[in-house]
Amino acid sequence: MANPPTSDSRERVRATVPKLIDLTEKVLFGDVWERPDLSKRDRSLIVCAVLTATYRPEQLKGHLQRALANGVTKAELSEMITHVAFYAGWPAAMSAATVAREVFEANP
């Protein structure tokens, strides 16, 4: 299993929490994300929904970028945010919408 590409967020904290980054790369992205019963596209949509619902905008940014790379469309991400608003609350969805706008503008 190959390591995922590094990310700016992981690199910023690698020296502070090296074991956490090791687990992120080897277990989370090296094992969990590679399990065959869900596509990476589906995993991305699920993760983005959970990060929206739990108000994690810093993590959401990178996962929205990953979702686009994994084939989730901007329209699908927009619809997910709208749908999650009714279950997780308007403020969480509005914050996610702001993050999505920034990601979408950076990825035309």
Q: What is the pLDDT of residues 10-36, one digit of tens each?
A: 888 999 999 999 999 999 999 999 999
* Total residue length of the chain: 108
Using the predicted structure, report yes or no on whether residue 103 has a pLDDT greater than 60.
Answer: yes
Domain ranges of the chain: 9-38, 39-108
Fold of 39-108: AhpD-like (1.20.1290)
Percentage of the chain beyond pLDDT 70 is 94
Contact 82, 93 (CB under 8 A): yes
Residue 96: helix, strand or coil by DSSP? helix
Contact 26, 58 (CB under 8 A): no
One-character DSSP codes across 10-46? HHHHTTTSHHHHHHIIIIITTTGGG-TTS-HHHHHHH
